[in-house]
Each structure stands twice: as C-alpha cells, then as structure tokens.
Amino acid sequence: MRAIDLLNGRLKLRHLVLVVAIADHGSVLRAAEHLRLAQPAVTRSLREVEGVLGVELFTRGPRGMTPTMFGDAFVEHARAVLAELRRAGERISGLADGEVGTVTIGTLLAGSSVLLPRAIAALKRDRPGITVIVQEATFDAQVPRLLDGEIDLILGRLNPIGDLRGLRQITLYGEPVRLVARLGHPARSVPDLGLADLLAYPWVLPLERTALRSELEQVFRAGGLDPPGDLVECTSVLTVRTLVRDTDMIAALPELVARTDADIAPLPVPLETVRRQVGVTLPARRAPTPSARLMLDHLRRAAAEITAG
C-alpha cells in the first residue's frame, strides 16, 4: 500500500474531531448531536476523510458504528493530535496570564484521599481559574492516556516502569501499606495474630494485574499460603473503606487512607515487602503544561507537609 501524505492539505482538523466523536459516541447521529452539526454534514465529512485515507474507518452494525482496524489506528493518532493542540492552546494561555487552564490527574489508591485533596485545595486558593479533573483507574489503564496527552500525570504508588518507554517518575514520600479491619473485628482478639489467621475472613483486594495485587499475592506465597479465595476486587477508596467498616472484610490500604476513617484501624500483621513509595508518573518527552506544573509544585509541598507531620 502506498504511503499516505496527510500534510497535503486535504485532511482537515475538523476531520479528526469528527472521527473521534463518532468513535466516542458510536453513531453518526449521536456524533452530529454532540458536535451540533447536521447528520448529512457529518456523513459527508466521514466520506471525505475515508477518501483521503483510501480505507474504511467504521462499519455499521446493529449496535452502531464500530471502528475497523484502520479506524482504531487513525482514532488513536487523532486523539493524540487533538490532545497536543489542546495542550498548545493551554500553554499559550498559561504563558499569557498564568491564571486559567486545566490539569487532568489520573489517580490510584495511594495519595488520593489525603495528598491530592490538600494539593488541589492549595492550587485552587492560588489559581482559582484553573480547572482540576481527577480520574480514577488502574495504572495500566492510565498509561496510554498519559502518553497520548489526555491526562497530565498519574498520582499514586509508584509502579515499575522498566519496560514502559516514555515515562519518568518523581517520588513524593514513603507510605507503608497496612492490613486493616474495623475496630470491633473478631481477628483483633486472636493471640499472636498472623496472616494465616486472616484467611478465615473475606478480603477486599485490588484488581488482578495491578502492582499491589501482585505484591500481596507474593506476601501470601512467601508465607506458604494461598491468596484469599473469598474476596471482592475493588480499587475505589470509598467502596473499600465502607466494606471494611461495615463487614468483617480485610483490606490492604495505604496508611494515610486508613487514618481517615475512625472506625477502621491497622492490624498487627506487617507487610514489609510491599513497596511504599508514593509519587507521580509523567511523560518523559513532554514538558508539563503551566497548569500541570503548578499542580506538581503543590503536590510536592503537600507531600513535604505530610512527611513533616
């Protein structure tokens, strides 16, 4: 297949916006409504971009428009281009007045309940015109969006990035992960409580393929134990804390998260081998926007206050 020249002027910015909208909304009609355009205009523009590329980007089915192999590839690049253009606009605005902008943070369990709220509150006092968007997901789900420019940074326990190119990490502070239960939990009356004793109760664990889940499973295996079979998989801080507080479930939580609920407390079973570093993951080859740089400054200050306290 011949190489396609997309810099000859035939492909327009509106084509990128349109293709991403169709992918996001699953139909030409909903994309047209979202873009506030007439449906025939959207259909015509889709034909134009498919004509430029020489391939079909979407197929019609009973559930709407589905990207083809070519559509998936083009949408990925279109998102990256649009994200970079948004960042360029924000950078110009930020350099002009430093008062407005948007910073999008992907958050993990650690750092989300104490560090992040403190840093956001300080940023908003300093720059009320900056909008902060917080999105929670697993590290693996956040990384592609970070590299594409859809989010500015990932905050949480520092996951290994040895085989992930294009990332860099900044450590903010160390925070142990603790096994926790409600204050009246029956395990608290067990003499010389050990990890094996806790397997008699249900657990709340992070999702599979997350770094913390893998480390916890290694802790069990190192003790000659099978991981819990009676479990709930969850990464929502609020849900985990509520389950632990209202049931006999055991969970592994960052110490600062555990401290924020007076009805739950750590158990005397250490997790010495579980990593403790909390920090931010950033793109290695892309400078932060002015808003993201300010957010990072406030995260550093809040982390220093937590460490000092």
39 and 74 share one domain? yes
162 and 296 share one domain? yes
Q: How confident is the model at residue 237 (pLDDT cuts 50, 70, 90)?
A: confident
d(CA 31, CA 25): 6
Phi, psi of 226 (to 5 degrees): -80, 145
Burial class of residue 90 (count of CB atoms within 10 Å of its CB; 0-12, 13-18, 19+) = buried
Interval 172-193: pLDDT, tens: 988 888 999 999 999 999 999 9
193 within some domain? yes
7 within some domain? no
Two tokens, residue 257: 């998260």
In the chain, where does DSSP find H-type helix?
Answer: 13-25, 28-35, 39-53, 69-97, 115-126, 139-148, 195-198, 211-222, 237-246, 255-259, 290-308
Domain that holds residue 257: 177-266
What total number of domains does the chain contain?
3
Percent of the chain past pLDDT 90, that is, above it, reads 58
d(CA 106, CA 49): 32
1 within some domain? no
3-class SS of residue 296: helix
Interval 251-298: pLDDT, tens: 998 888 778 788 999 999 988 888 778 899 999 988 888 889 999 999
Percent of the chain past pLDDT 70, that is, above it, reads 95
Average pLDDT over residues 35-63: 91
The count of other CB atoms within 10 Å of the CB of residue 307 is: 11
207 and 255 share one domain? yes
d(CA 179, CA 308): 24
Residues counted in the chain = 309
92 within some domain? no
User: What pLDDT is recorded for position 159?
Assistant: 79
Average pLDDT over residues 233-249: 90
d(CA 61, CA 13): 27
182 and 167 share one domain? no
Two tokens, residue 181: 């239960």
Contact 105, 133 (CB under 8 A): yes
User: What pLDDT is recorded for position 49?
Assistant: 93
In sequence order, the β-bridge partners of residue 233 are 205
User: What pLDDT is recorded for position 97?
Assistant: 59
The count of other CB atoms within 10 Å of the CB of residue 282 is: 20
213 and 257 share one domain? yes
User: What pLDDT is recorded for position 23?
Assistant: 93
User: What pLDDT is recorded for position 103?
Assistant: 92
Query: Which residue, 176, 170, 252, is CA-closest to 210?
Result: 252
Q: What is the pTM of this model?
A: 0.64
Interval 60-118: pLDDT, tens: 888 789 999 999 999 999 999 998 888 888 777 766 655 778 899 999 865 677 899 99
- Residue that the structure tokens 């523009």 belong to: 45
d(CA 308, CA 142): 30
74 and 119 share one domain? no
115 and 234 share one domain? no
86 within some domain? no
Domain containing residue 216: CATH number:
3.40.190.290
Contact 145, 76 (CB under 8 A): no
